[in-house]
């Protein structure tokens, strides 16, 4: 018996029991669909997160207080003076710009009665350039406004829509932060949302105003983070060394025990890629368990089929069918069940991935699930392998039946 004839007979056998064949394939369909959908969602989330990080630039450093590796007691906080020292071109020639920042939350209200609690960020003019912000109207915060502790604010389109019901024609409007009036001077262009929250809901004020009136810290001029831009991606390492030396001298830390941490954009990108990669493999593995369940279902049905067709098997062997012919016939049936289920499952997984992407977009966290060829091939080959693996025992059992005993079976 050749392969073509085996496939034809397998199709006839499966067609004779359509309902049972369909229910058997259901486990494989769900398993493959879940694997395709989960891998696509995981890869899409990875692309979105790493793309957002890379979009900021590859020559940024992030300086925070405290040591993430060693336990340093009472770390000295970062201050505006630290940021100014880092910006000195004489001691940090590979540093192009420095942007200190402080973050907190405040009650935000407008004259129409709408009120919400939102994060606010105290920034300098260089912050907007480093983070690749643009304005659709108005302007960014200026150095004069920082020196004068001005009551001005730049808001994102998301928070603008929430408060005013629109995000244009708002320059000159007044919003209140913790009851204090602030004049809107600019609206940022939409940057969309992500896994770390929407960047369209940001509220920016001059860092001096935030320190004096909105965000209170224990130390005078304390800040939360310093963004440092190296002159190029190639000078990130030199800039890191220069920032490290400046802060060690200012904080008087013992050699090898820093009370601050410096991350580069590449460090964060590497961590994000690793975390999302592990997450993708994890959820793909969980989804793959359903493929195992589907394979057990195939074995169960094939064992039932062997029992039902015992006399048929005996008759075939009596007419000259070899053990190999019977083995190939039943393996072909189990493989076709799994393969058909896998093909349908690919379509189901693709549809689920698209649905998840649309739901995420509708909820304000847009990302595009990535269905790539490797995921499809992996799911297809794995589903076929499941059919072969779980069909071996029933097929071997059928092929090992003695003709006389099989013909006598009732």
Reported as a single tens digit per residue, the pLDDT across 375-400 is: 777 777 777 777 677 767 666 766 67
User: Where in the chain are the domains?
Assistant: 3-53+270-408, 76-258
Cα 170 to Cα 274: distance, rounded to the nearest angstrom: 42
Asked whether 63 and 190 are in contact (CB, 8 A), the reply is no
pLDDT score, position 196: 47
DSSP label at 103?
Answer: E
Cα 206 to Cα 227: distance, rounded to the nearest angstrom: 16
Reported as a pLDDT band with limits 50, 70 and 90, residue 77 is: confident
Q: What are phi and psi for residue 44, nearest 5 degrees?
A: -65, -40
pLDDT score, position 195: 41
Cα 57 to Cα 55: distance, rounded to the nearest angstrom: 5
**Strand boundaries in 55-94, DSSP class E:** 60-65, 78-79
Interhelix angle 18-56/323-362, rounded to 10 degrees, is 40
pLDDT top residue among 404 and 194? 404
Reported as a pLDDT band with limits 50, 70 and 90, residue 194 is: very low
pLDDT over 70 percentage in the chain: 78
pTM here is 0.59
């Amino acid at each position: 018996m050749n392969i073509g004839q085996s496939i034809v007979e397998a199709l006839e056998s499966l067609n004779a029991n359509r309902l049972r064949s369909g229910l058997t394939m259901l486990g494989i369909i769900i398993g493959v669909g879940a694997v395709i959908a989960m891998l696509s969602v995981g890869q899409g989330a990875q692309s979105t997160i790493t793309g957002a990080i890379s979009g900021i630039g590859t020559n940024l450093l992030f300086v925070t207080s405290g040591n993430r590796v060693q336990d340093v007691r009472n770390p000295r906080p970062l201050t505006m003076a630290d940021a100014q020292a880092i910006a000195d071109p004489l001691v940090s020639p590979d540093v192009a710009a420095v942007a200190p920042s402080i973050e907190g939350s405040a009650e935000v209200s407008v004259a129409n009665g709408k009120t919400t609690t939102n994060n606010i960020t105290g920034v300098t003019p260089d912050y907007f350039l480093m983070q690749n912000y643009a304005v659709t109207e108005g302007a960014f915060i200026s150095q004069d406004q920082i020196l004068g502790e001005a009551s001005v604010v730049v808001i994102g389109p998301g928070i603008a829509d929430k408060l005013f019901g629109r995000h244009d024609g708002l320059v000159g409007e007044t919003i209140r932060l913790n009851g204090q009036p602030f004049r809107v001077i600019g609206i940022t262009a939409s940057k969309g949302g992500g896994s770390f929250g929407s960047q369209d809901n940001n509220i920016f004020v001059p860092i001096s105003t935030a320190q004096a009136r909105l965000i209170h810290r224990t130390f005078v001029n304390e800040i939360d983070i310093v963004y440092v831009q190296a002159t190029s991606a190639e000078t990130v390492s030199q800039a890191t060394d220069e920032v490290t030396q400046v802060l060690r001298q200012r904080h008087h830390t013992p050699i090898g025990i820093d009370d601050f941490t410096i991350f580069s954009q590449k460090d964060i990108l590497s961590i994000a890629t690793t975390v999302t990669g592990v997450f993708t493999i994890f959820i793909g593995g969980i989804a793959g368990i359903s493929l195992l369940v589907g394979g057990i279902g195939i074995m169960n049905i094939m064992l039932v089929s062997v029992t039902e067709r015992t006399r048929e098997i005996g008759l075939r062997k009596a007419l000259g069918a070899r053990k190999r012919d019977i083995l190939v016939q039943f393996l072909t049936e189990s493989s076709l069940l799994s393969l058909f289920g896998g093909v349908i499952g690919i379509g189901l997984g693709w549809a689920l991935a698209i649905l998840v992407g649309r739901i995420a977009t509708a909820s304000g966290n847009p990302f595009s699930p990535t269905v790539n060829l490797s995921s499809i091939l992996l799911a297809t080959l794995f589903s076929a392998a499941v059919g072969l693996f779980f069909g071996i025992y029933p097929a071997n059992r059928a092929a090992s039946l003695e003709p006389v005993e099989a013909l006598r079976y009732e």
